Amino acid sequence: MIYKLFVSFTTVCLFSLTLHANYLDKETADRINKNVDALIAKDMNSKQLIFTKDAQKINQPASLTKIMTALLAIESGRMNDVVTITKEMISVEPTKAGLRVGEKFYLRDLVKAAMVMSANDAAMAIGIYLGDGDVDRFANQMNQKAKKIGMKQTNFTNPCGFDIGSHYSTALDLLVMSEYAIRNSSFNEMAKLKRHDFKALNTKRHYAAYTHNKLLNSYKYAVGIKTGYTQKAGPCLIARAKNGNKDVLVVMLNSEQRWKNIRLILDDVMPDLTDTKQKTPQNSRAVTPKKTQPKAKTIKKTPIKLAKL
């Protein structure tokens, strides 16, 4: 019942978009439109969409997939289980943490490695372990969960995000998944980590997982959540920025300028969360008249054409 209410509420918000959305200024919207395949941005407090482009277009989610992998691990209640690494678990393409056959790790450390550095060996280890030795069984669990939370145009074939078989999703579905994920405090703690240090329980070999999320290192109010890339999917990003009563969640697929685009969005809809130059007090002599009198400048805001949802 809770899931049905969650999905229904999301649907209502989508269809109320044309009347109540906050708009990006036209110049910003035009710049983003040129170099992103699909995008959806949502104000998590007002529950209104800020911007959308081809939100229901089928795309490859790349390592954004690992959000679902992490969710299933967290909800399994087995995060303190010890996982022994097998050859199958590490026979994957980079990015890899470098896990070795026979090493033993807490499941929680593998989940953090998969989320923080997008380690494919860690993600595959999670899938094989929770799938009771069968990664295809785990993929079925992923799809069952996706359907349960309201992802209607998604199919997972693996826990890593490889472009294998019919592995696909949409920006809208990934937004639904992300909204569900950030309701979990354990997930949120992982999503904002810049680094995770851990070690093999039996060999004591140390590992350090570093984030690929540049926003976490450059934007004070960024709180996650995941990057992704494959040659077919292109650069992907799910980002969240939060401060006080401001909370924005953005899904961006196949954007060669994802870092520039995410700053354009956040700087436009969350202007008080930008850099120090834009926060200079009004009585500062260093500020030009134009900046000290923002009301004298009119910025034309126009509704962005929205994808039919």
Going from N- to C-terminal start, the domains of the chain cover 2-296
Q: Can you tell me the distance from the alpha carbon of 68 to that of 145, in angstroms, rounded to the nearest whole number?
A: 8
Contact 267, 274 (CB under 8 A): yes
Contacts 24+ apart (CB under 8 A), 197-204: 198/105, 198/106, 198/109, 198/112, 198/113, 200/100, 200/103, 200/104, 200/105, 201/82, 201/103, 201/104, 201/105, 201/106, 202/102, 202/103, 202/104, 203/100, 203/103
Identify the weakest region by mean pLDDT among 59-63, 118-122, 256-260.
256-260
What pLDDT score was predicted for residue 270?
75
User: In one letter, which amino acid is 233?
Assistant: A
Question: How many CA atoms does the CB half-sphere of 183 hold within 13 Å?
Answer: 11
Neighbours of 176 (CB within 10 A): 24
What are the two backbone dihedrals, phi and then psi, of residue 254, each rounded to the nearest 5 degrees? 50, 65
Q: How many residues does the chain have?
A: 309
Question: How many CA atoms does the CB half-sphere of 278 hold within 13 Å?
Answer: 8
Reply yes or no on whether the pLDDT at 9 is more than 70: no
Q: Can you tell me the distance from the alpha carbon of 216 to that of 39, in angstroms, rounded to the nearest whole number?
A: 20
| Token code pair at residue 165 | 């078989």
| Token code pair at residue 245 | 């009563």
| Token code pair at residue 173 | 């579905």
The DSSP secondary-structure symbol of 25 reads B
| Token code pair at residue 249 | 């969640």
Task: Say what the pTM is.
Answer: 0.82
Contact 66, 161 (CB under 8 A): yes
Q: Can you tell me the distance from the alpha carbon of 240 to that of 91, in angstroms, rounded to the nearest whole number?
A: 32
Q: Can you tell me the distance from the alpha carbon of 192 to that of 173, in angstroms, rounded to the nearest whole number?
A: 21
What pLDDT score was predicted for residue 24?
66
Reply yes or no on whether the pLDDT at 32 is more than 90: no
Neighbours of 48 (CB within 10 A): 16
CATH 3.40.710.10 for domain 2-296: yes
Identify the weakest region by mean pLDDT among 4-8, 190-194, 252-256.
4-8
Reply yes or no on whether the pLDDT at 26 is more than 90: no
Q: Which pLDDT tens digit goes with each residue over 246-281? A: 899 999 999 999 999 999 889 887 765 444 344 433
Contact 301, 25 (CB under 8 A): yes
| Token code pair at residue 305 | 């054409």
Mean pLDDT across 183-188: 97
Q: Can you tell me the distance from the alpha carbon of 16 to that of 35, in angstroms, rounded to the nearest whole number?
A: 27
| Token code pair at residue 5 | 């209410």
Radius of gyration (C-alpha) of the chain in whole angstroms: 20
| Token code pair at residue 73 | 């691990």
